[in-house]
Amino acid sequence: MRRKLICTSMLIAIGTMNTAYSADSTLNSDIPIELDTLSVTASADASAEGLAPAFAGGQVAEGGRAGILGTKDNLDTPFSITSYTNEFIQDRQAQSVGDVLRYDPTVQVTRGFGNFQEAYMIRGFTTSSDAVAYNGLYNLLPRQYIATELFERVEVLRGASAFLTGANPLGGAIGGSINLLPKRAPNYDLNRVTLGASMNDKRNIAADIARRFGENDEFGVRVNAAHHNGGTSIDDEQAELNLFNIGLDYQGERLRLSADIGYQNNQLDHTRTNVSITGLSRVPSAPDASDNWAQPWSYSNEEDKFGTFRAEYDFTDDVTAWAAYGMRRSDEANTLANLTVTDAASGDGTFYRFDNTREDRVDTGELGLRGHLDTGVVGHDWVVAYSYFQLETKNAYAMDFFNTTNTNLYAPVYMNKPVISGSAFIGNNLASPALNTRTKFNSFAIGDTLSFMDERLQLTLGARHQAIKVDNYAYNTGIRTSYEDSEITPAIGSVYKLSEQVSVYANYIESLVAGDSAPSTALNVGEALSPYVSEQKEVGLKYETETFGTGLAYFTTDEPRTLTGNDNIFRESGENEHQGIELTLYGKATDNLKLLGGVTWLDAKQKGTGDATTEGKRAIGVAEWMAVMGAEWEVPQIEGLAVDGEVHYVSSRYANAANTLKLDDWTTVGLGARYLVNIGNQDLTLRARVDNLFDRDYWSSANDSGQITLGAPRTVSISATVDFY
């Protein structure tokens, strides 16, 4: 089946190329193509179209990347995409991906299991930070924390995306995927320095330098460097970050090239952990938001080196090929002391020492061919693509599970760093971690967007064949167990423009995740299940004027579940059913007033669990209601001054499958101000911000590992950005 699919697809591609060549009778390779230097913008990749233009107000873009379909305008795509601009990232003083996405009404920012990794819940499904894509390639940027100096934009593609982007190798992207776009040199000289500070003596400095060279400004260089150091709004926390990134690009007559080389070193000390509440009958009251129960000797260090290369070549005006490659090499080490609460009323609990070291080696790439042809009155934007991904992870740990120490959530007990005891569970050598997992993904995709009625009606058809291979190596023994399977995931989407300002759309698309292996307690121990296919159906409406836009979407997503039945056989059975409605809005309500936000209603139920205590209950950590409303006002009486405010609401959520542990709803308020003034040949931008204005104490999120996370306290930050000319 795989050979037939590949051969058929290649024949279609070759045939369409020949059609395109023959149709282009006016093409003459001896006639040079003039480059307009003014058209060189901050292109995020080696593409002819570059970045989608910013929408009115500059906070989001007019469109975003729909995977292998390329960059699409909002009204022309049968999917829901929001792309947050670098202007918005700077004005909100965002320092990580999570800081940007907390302004998205469809995304709940959470934390991963057992460490300080960011995670993002989209449509009720969690995508971790190591599942984020960089310029279309997965898992290239730092695994746990991605600083904003490394990217130009944050794109959120809501919904499943296996056809568009390939299956996420880390198992995310069921409810949506996140793509970060790298920085490129704009068509003007850029000399920017930013100084910042926040509570508890945290300081940061960043430089952003860019130039274009050549007769037609065809060569571009952009360099970003940053240093963050000091405390945080949480008592006694310390964080230090150093990064450097260089982005290169070349834009020729038919050939376009781009490359990135980056480095980030992130070090956390005495950082507040998640709280485990497994086994409790109720959720403990939230402590003071600035409290820190972490042990002073706990830390987490991560060092990442990464690079990408992308090329695009126009064979004709209608046929373009592209190739991309990316790599990441990472080293991690941490010593943790996570808190487990054993008494909700008093806050009594325990912790134990857990050490971990890890090395990652990622290599990934993509080849593709896209083009346009007409068959009568029907237009075709066709694409074929091949992608490859490999991740090798070396890991070692020391878990001193039986050597626990008493502490308290509200009155933490601090102690000297304990020595790992003889009863600890040891996996491999901490000083030299051994190969633990090798993951390989290969996929081939083919698609066609058909246009009718002068492009008022568009129909997208496509499918991707995904091959998955995972080799796991047992700790200490190195004994290998393997998983290998494949699946074809189709997609269909349609858009109809009712007018130049209104379009309606619908889609059916799937996500794909590698199947689990039966546990040691099952009769079929070690048996690998087929890949899990989640099915999404969505309908929506989009409305845009020149200054204001809004979107309304209804979706359903069914995620397969597993269980060990009464016959003690581990199998796929039941599903999580998520259905929801999303309303988003963006742009300018008046000449001086920008709006950004929306609301999400989500019903996420567990079905076919095989357990009466969980059947029909809500999924862990998923809020029924979530809303964000942000407004920015440019004060007309004072040139250069703008003030903004944001209200964020999340309804109650459950922290366990039986829905007996409930987190209260919460609301936070943020305020900010920006003042731009010209001093000689310099533009000075002063920014100030306060988040969680009323210092609300609240549990912000829960994960499916029985852990909850305390929300951040009131945080005040200021910065000054100077642009030299």
* Residue 115 confidence (pLDDT): 66
Point out the least confidently predicted range of 72-76, 126-130, 535-539.
126-130
User: Mean pLDDT over residues 211-227, rounded?
Assistant: 95
More confident site: 528 or 584: 584
Q: What is the pLDDT of residues 421-453, one digit of tens each?
A: 999 999 999 999 999 999 999 999 999 999 999
Q: Residue 51's pLDDT band (boundaries 50, 70, 90)? A: confident
Confidence (pLDDT) at 45: 61
Which helix (DSSP H) or strand (DSSP E) does residue 63 occupy? strand 63-65
pLDDT-derived band at 716, boundaries 50, 70, 90: very high
The better pLDDT of the pair 28, 434 is held by 434
Contacts of 428 (CB under 8 A, 6+ apart): 394, 395, 396, 397, 434, 436, 475, 476
Report the DSSP beta bridge partners of residue 384. Answer: 369, 446
**Is pLDDT of 694 > 90?**
yes
pLDDT digits (tens, 9 = 90+) for 318-334: 999 999 999 999 999 99
Looking at the predicted structure, is the pLDDT value of residue 13 above 60?
no
- Tokens representing 703? 């994960």
Exposure of 294 by Cβ count < 10 A (0-12 exposed, 13-18 middle, 19+ buried)? buried
pLDDT tens, 255-288? Answer: 999 999 999 999 999 999 999 999 999 999 999 9
Domain 2-289+303-724: what homologous superfamily?
A: TonB-dependent receptor, beta-barrel domain (2.40.170.20)
How much is the CA Rg of the chain, to the nearest whole Å?
26
pLDDT digits (tens, 9 = 90+) for 568-583: 888 888 899 999 999 9
Interstrand relation of 434-452 and 378-399 (parallel, antiparallel or unpaired): antiparallel
Report the 10 Å Cβ neighbour count for 321.
16
Under the banding of pLDDT at 50, 70 and 90, the label for residue 35 is very low
Q: Per-residue DSSP letters for 561-600?
A: EEEE-TTS-EEEEEEEEEEEEEEEEEEESSSSEEEEEEEE
Question: What is the chain's mean pLDDT, rounded?
Answer: 91
Distance CA(131)–CA(113), nearest Å, equals 14
Q: Shortest CA distance to 684 belongs to which of 725, 718, 722?
A: 722
Sorting pLDDT into bands at 50, 70 and 90, what band is 680? confident
- Look at residue 114 in the predicted model and tell me its pLDDT: 55
Q: Is the pLDDT of residue 33 over 70?
A: no
User: In this model, does residue 50 exceed pLDDT 80?
Assistant: no
For 298-320, how does the pLDDT look when each residue is reduced to its tens digit (9 = 90+)? 999 999 999 999 999 999 999 99
pLDDT band at 359 (very low <50, low <70, confident <90, very high): very high
- pLDDT value at position 273? 93
Read off the pLDDT of residues 514-571 as tens digits, 9 standing for 90 and up: 888 788 788 888 777 888 999 999 999 999 999 999 999 999 999 998 888 888 888 8
- Indicate whether 168 pLDDT > 80: yes
| Average pLDDT of span 639-645 | 97
* Domain assignments of the chain as residue spans, ordered by start: 2-289+303-724
Of the listed ranges 33-42, 157-166, 348-357, 374-383, the least confidently predicted one is 33-42
Q: Cα separation of 548 and 305, whole Å?
A: 40
pLDDT of 10 above 60: no
pLDDT at 9: 38
Q: Regarding predicted confidence, which is higher, 222 or 14?
A: 222
Q: How confident is the model at residue 4 (pLDDT cuts 50, 70, 90)?
A: very low
What gap in Å lies between CA 706 and CA 702, rounded to an integer? 7
Q: Give the whole-number percent of the chain exceeding pLDDT 90.
A: 82
Q: Give the C-alpha separation, 221 to 461, whole Å.
A: 38
Report the relative pairing of strands 118-122 and 107-111 from DSSP bridges. antiparallel
What b/e readout covers 593-629, taking b as 16+ CB neighbours within 10 angstroms? ebbbbbbbbbebbbbbbeeeebeebbbbbbbbebbbb
Name the most confidently modeled range: 187-191, 510-514, 628-632.
628-632
According to the model, what pLDDT value does residue 563 have?
Answer: 84
pLDDT tens for 442-501 read 999 999 999 999 999 999 999 999 999 999 999 999 999 888 999 999 999 999 999 999
β-strands 133-134, 176-181: how paired?
parallel
Please state, in angstroms and rounded to a whole number, the distance separating the CA atoms of residues 303 and 475: 23
